[in-house]
Amino acid sequence: MAGNSQRRNRRTSNKKGATVGSGGQRRRGLEGKGPTPPAHMRKGHKKNRVANAQAKHAARRPAPRRGGPKGPNELVVGRNSVVEALREGVPANTLYVQQFVDSDERVREALQLATEKGLNLMEAPRPELDRMTNGLNHQGLVLSVPPYDYAHPEDLSAAALDDGEDPLIVALDGITDPRNLGAVVRSVSAFGGHGVVVPERRAAGMTASAWKTSAGTAARTPVARATNMTRTLEAYQKEGLMVVGLAADGDVELHELDILDGPVVIVVGSEGKGLSRLVGETCDYRVRIPMPGGAESLNAGVAAGVVLYEAARRRAQR
């Protein structure tokens, strides 16, 4: 009996304890860790540090303001104007066609182009089109163009620096003709510039007329809008850009200026008044374009084109 009691006690007291082992660690240690991550994701690698620096730079950069509140859609009115806008790729969204309109070659071409571009086609009675256009002679065709999506001035220089290039920007001071703006956009695109800055008030904006004059280059050349042009130029200076104002009474002739192959903002004033006082005082250089022919001044598009060509020529020689 005593022996049986001892055996029972041994069985009941000999409870199974924790098993000493690897806990599966050895097996997992033998498993592969997958493919080696790319260099920019490996902590401590040079490319990882560069990627982190770029991310911090992007985080510090202000988000694109895109010109603030949106205004109403612009309306292009009349058969010739509508067809020309569609030919030039003006970014429209809707073509309104008068009910029972007398169709001719221009109407047919407008409908064909609008269909090819995927625009909305809306048929409307004549009184409705009269109301939309405030009684203008629309000839049965009205094209609706949404407000232009402006960039922020700092985005222009940041994009150039991100691409490893010295910024080349044109700022317009007091230019009120949208065709001049379109011509400048076209020149900036042709000579490798990084964008155009215009004032928010009392200045030409990117209307359908400006878009047409740009010959489609506005699709790839950003236009930024500045709340205060003087402060915008000062901000560019803090980034290391030189500000060059074009003036008939400038202190330096264009061929004498030796900074055009670096980061620069070219400021163009109106043909009649030139640069405003505050903008002129902000410029690092006031430059004149020699004109042996005796002309008093050049319009904004021509003047910007001359200086942009000279800047592109010097940059190509570096």
Amino acid at 239: E
Distance CA 110, CA 117 (A): 11
pLDDT, residue 39, reads 61
Is residue 218 a contact partner of residue 192, using CB atoms and an 8 Å limit?
Answer: no
pLDDT digits (tens, 9 = 90+) for 264-277: 999 998 877 789 99
pLDDT digits (tens, 9 = 90+) for 15-69: 555 555 555 555 555 555 556 666 656 666 555 555 555 555 455 444 444 444 4
189-206 mean pLDDT = 93
Residue matched to tokens 């010097």? 314
Is residue 307 a contact partner of residue 289, using CB atoms and an 8 Å limit?
Answer: yes
Amino acid at 258: D
The residues, ordered by sequence, that sit 6+ positions from 242 with a Cβ below 8 Å of its Cβ are 259, 262, 263, 264, 265, 284, 285
pLDDT, residue 49, reads 57
Distance CA 60, CA 44 (A): 22
| Mean of all residue pLDDT scores within the chain | 83
In sequence order, the β-bridge partners of residue 135 are none
Burial class (CB in 10 A: 0-12, 13-18, 19+), 65: middle
Distance CA 283, CA 167 (A): 16
How many C-beta atoms lie closer than 10 Å to residue 79's C-beta? 19
pLDDT digits (tens, 9 = 90+) for 72-92: 789 999 999 999 999 988 999
Is residue 106 a contact partner of residue 100, using CB atoms and an 8 Å limit?
Answer: no
Distance CA 278, CA 286 (A): 13
Helix (H) or strand (E) holding 224: strand 223-226
pLDDT, residue 140, reads 94
This prediction's pTM:
0.73
Distance CA 222, CA 66 (A): 11
Question: For the chain, what percent of residues have pLDDT higher than 90?
Answer: 57
Q: Where are the beta strands (DSSP E) in 32-189?
A: 74-77, 94-98, 120-124, 141-145, 168-173
pLDDT, residue 57, reads 46
Which pLDDT band, with edges at 50, 70 and 90, does 160 fall under?
very high
pLDDT, residue 73, reads 87
How many C-beta atoms lie closer than 10 Å to residue 96's C-beta? 22
pLDDT digits (tens, 9 = 90+) for 99-156: 998 889 999 999 999 999 999 999 999 999 999 999 999 999 999 999 999 999 999 9
305-317 mean pLDDT = 93
- 70 secondary structure, DSSP code: -
pLDDT, residue 166, reads 93
pLDDT, residue 235, reads 95
Helix (H, G, I), strand (E, B) or coil at 306: helix
Show the CA angle centred on residue 210, arms to residues 101 and 110, nearest 5°.
20
Helix (H, G, I), strand (E, B) or coil at 173: strand
Report the C-alpha dihedral over residues 179, 181, 182, 186, rounded to 10 degrees: 140
